[in-house]
Amino acid sequence: MSDKLVQVEHLQQYFPAGGFGKNKKYIQAVDDVSFYINKGETLGLVGESGCGKTTTGRSLLRLYEPTGGKIIYDNDVIFDKDNKIAVDMLPYRRKMQIVFQDPYASLDPRMTVGDIVGEAIDIHKLAASKQDRQDRIIEMLNRVGLNSEHANRYPHEFSGGQRQRVGIARALAVNPEFIVCDEPISALDVSIQAQVVNMFEDLQENLGLTYLFIAHDLSVVKHISNRIGVMYLGKMVELADSYELISNSLHPYTKSLISAIPIADPKVARASKRIVLEGDVPSPLNPPSGCRFRTRCPYADECCAQKQPEWKEVSKGHYVACHHLDKVN
């Protein structure tokens, strides 16, 4: 049996954006992304806004039906475009859950917190009786630091941090194995962020969970992740162990992201050099030819415009897509 819980091969997600026939346009949100996540590990996924992180997470759960590629969950192929395989997701919804980014938009304002958490228990028929259902709901709320009194309240009566805890309790209600955490702390105050990250770590330890942790704050991701993948404009550009990626990044985009992590020591901060990228991110509607990062890369040349860099393993577990690794490092 494989240690890999989730495998994604050549995942593609294009959204139609107007036009007809040959002139039909597509937003290339995710293009040829491959990775795997081992059981019990956290894979961090970082990149600037609009790079396709959230779309990757949602396509993986088939909340968006992928345009192409293959998704394998626990050795079962749940989606394969080439072989026209797309299994019914209801049994897998129990095993695969998501915590959404915005705790204000992802909870139904007309439902009590008890009903929000209990809805998944009802759908999957996990409770033997009304009392069993109630006990499960209270147990989930206790797990995330809320109590039984909160079950009868509505989402608008809670702060952002508490709402995100409700969202996490909802995801945990069906005893999942794998959770996509879609920027779960970006809408929260900094003081609350640390509490929620620590809670994720405790839950992983106690319940043996596997996470895909999506964020654009590298300092948080390096704290919680075993491995980190870096995305740029729909493509994965680098993937390595957390420590390896931070201390020995190879791709120029990753180096720029890491240079932007704030350093608490003023002397060290003054000595460290920010790598500032020129220009703006191109549109995913019409991405650059060849390497997508070339329009902002100081090392780009004609070769970068002609062909896409190959996604290759340069050392054990360290993957990168760049034509000029010798120049960059």
- Per-residue pLDDT tens listing for the chain (329 residues): 568 999 999 999 999 988 887 888 899 999 999 999 999 999 999 988 889 999 999 999 999 999 999 999 999 999 999 988 889 999 999 999 999 988 889 999 999 999 999 999 999 999 999 999 999 999 999 988 899 999 999 999 998 889 999 999 999 999 999 999 999 888 788 888 888 889 899 999 999 999 999 998 888 898 899 999 999 999 999 999 999 999 999 999 999 988 888 887 888 878 887 888 887 888 888 899 999 999 998 888 899 999 999 999 999 999 999 998 888 77
SS3 state at 54: helix
- Answer whether residue 105 is part of any domain: no
CB atoms within 10 A of CB 4: 16
How many domains are there within the chain?
1
What predicted TM-score, i.e. pTM, was given to this entire model? 0.91
- Answer whether residue 308 is part of any domain: yes
- Answer whether residue 199 is part of any domain: yes
Q: Which spans in the chain are helix H? A: 53-60, 90-93, 113-123, 130-143, 160-172, 190-207, 218-224, 242-247, 252-259, 266-271, 302-306, 325-328
- Residues 208-237 as b or e (16 or more Cβ within 10 Å = b): ebbbbbbbbebebbbebbbbbbbbbbbbbb
- Answer whether residue 144 is part of any domain: no
- Answer whether residue 149 is part of any domain: no
- Residues 13-32 as b or e (16 or more Cβ within 10 Å = b): bbeeeeeeeeeeeebbbbbb
- Answer whether residue 127 is part of any domain: no
Q: Which domain holds residue 324?
A: 4-95+176-328
CATH of the domain at 14: 3.40.50.300
- Answer whether residue 22 is part of any domain: yes
- Answer whether residue 233 is part of any domain: yes
